[in-house]
Structure 1
Amino acid sequence: MLNIPNALTLLRALGVPLFLYLFLVADKPIASFVVIALGGVTDYLDGKVARYLNQTSEFGAKFDPAVDRLYIAAVIIALANKDYLPWVLVISILVRDFILFLVIIYQKLKGIPFLAVTFLGKAATFNLLYAFPLLLLEDLAYIGQASYIVGWAFAIWGTSLYFYTGLQYLVLGLKRPKSY
């Protein structure tokens, strides 16, 4: 079960408490940026490595998106706590994820196969994982304003995709398969 891709995902999961400590307790936005950025890189790499080394697994297919949700939830709550993000955005993202969690429970209870993550779903997560770290660099000289603009561009695009794919997953997740 612990292969290279799953180890990368586990490393990303361990980055969550590290990020929270660095951002909320130590007040180190640059170090926090590095942790989130590395989390985004490991999110990209774990899938690539899994396919390249033929180390895909059912566990990894469930563990990776779960860690993505954990990462996004922790980061957006922390950012909203320090007024980097509006709470309405944070709550809407968390509600989206909670609704899809309920869909997974429904699928499990009905014996309906879980949906595979789509390319757009991956793109939405990718955009969010890259948007939020850029917002942390807002106060830096020279790159702060550009980082803020690019960060919000990624955040708006990523959030739009996140809700669009959430609606897709909801509709498809509640449909009964033809063979059911």
Structure 2
Amino acid sequence: MTGERDGQVSRRVWTIPNVLSMLRLALVPVFLVLLVLGEYVGALVVLVVASLSDLADGYLARRLNQVTRLGQLLDPAADRLYIFAALLGLAAGGLVPWWIVVVIVARDVFLLILGVVLASHGYGPLPVHQLGKVATFALFFGLPVIMLGLAFPSVQPVSEPVGWAITLWGAFLYWWAGIIYAIETARAVRAARVAPRP
């Protein structure tokens, strides 16, 4: 408990924020199935619940001093899984083109490769860049706005172009952040090569 009291990252597993993150992850397949079945209202309800739990676990982690290593992994993982599930579900129904799925997934594969390169040179993962957070938020917001028009056709003339604008901007920022990560990785690798060996 000492690490939590002084604001350090804990190794605990069973904390309230972590349980909320686990529940959010458990809802991902429910969200995907509802999307594939065309139950857009139900899918939006699940997404709203997941988003509220995301806000709650972040708030509680800070408020209760329960920031954990597991939570730091679960939170971004859940965000990405919801984005992938939304993309796959909408693409499977022919509602978004598959190229947007490839663009988003390829960026995360690219980051995975960068992570392997960093690990091979003795580095851990790079800190999350603010631009990456903005990109994830744009995707996490834009795709549900597209879904909103599918759930409620009366708002589709407005929600669809707005949702697409936010989603495409998010995809652009997603790759821009990826390029920044690549530059930082290259700097780290160069530093490791010129560092004196013991």
TM-score class, shorter-chain normalisation, is: 0.7 to 0.9
Structure 1 segment 61-76 matched on structure 2, within 5 A: 61-76=72-87
Distance 1:13-1:173 versus aligned 2 partners, 3 A rule: farther
- Aligned residue number for residue 120 of structure 2: 109
Structure 1 gaps, min length 5: none
Partner of residue 166 from structure 1, selected from 145, 169, 178: 178
Provide Cα deviations, 1:62-116, integer angstroms capped at 9, x if missing partner. Answer: 2222222222222211111112211111101111111101212222232202112
Partner of residue 66 from structure 2, selected from 45, 55, 71: 55
The AA in structure 1 aligned to 2:92 is: N
Distance 1:67-1:110 versus aligned 2 partners, 3 A rule: farther
Measure the CA separation in 1 of the matches of 2:84 and 2:33: 15
Distance 1:136-1:46 versus aligned 2 partners, 3 A rule: same
TM-score scaled to structure 2, two decimals? 0.80
The AA in structure 2 aligned to 1:70 is: L
Q: CA deviation at 1:59?
A: 2.0
Aligned length: 179
- Aligned residue number for residue 6 of structure 2: none
Q: CA deviation at 1:121?
A: 1.4
Measure the CA separation in 2 of the matches of 1:173 and 1:70: 24
Structure 2 gaps, min length 5: 1-12
Q: CA contact under 8 A between 2:145 and 2:163: conserved in structure 1?
A: yes
The AA in structure 2 aligned to 1:39 is: A
Q: CA contact under 8 A between 1:40 and 1:129: conserved in structure 2?
A: no
The AA in structure 2 aligned to 1:2 is: W
Provide Cα deviations, 1:14-39, integer angstroms capped at 9, x if missing partner. Answer: 121001121213x2111111212333
Structure 1 segment 1-180 matched on structure 2, within 5 A: 1-25=13-37, 27-139=38-150, 140-176=152-188, 178=191
Indicate the structure (1 or 2) with the bigger Cα radius of gyration: 2
Q: CA deviation at 1:2?
A: 2.3
Provide Cα deviations, 1:46-72, integer angstroms capped at 9, x if missing partner. Answer: 333322322212222222222222222
The alignment-based identity, stated in percent, is: 35
CA RMSD of aligned residues (A): 2.1
- Aligned residue number for residue 5 of structure 2: none
Measure the CA separation in 2 of the matches of 1:122 and 1:102: 20
The 10-residue stretch of structure 1 (49-58 or 76-85) with the greater mean CA deviation from structure 2: 49-58
RCO comparison, higher one (Cα < 8 Å, 6+):
1
Measure the CA separation in 2 of the matches of 1:67 and 1:174: 28
The 10-residue stretch of structure 1 (156-165 or 49-58) with the greater mean CA deviation from structure 2: 49-58
Measure the CA separation in 2 of the matches of 1:11 and 1:150: 30
Measure the CA separation in 2 of the matches of 1:116 and 1:65: 12
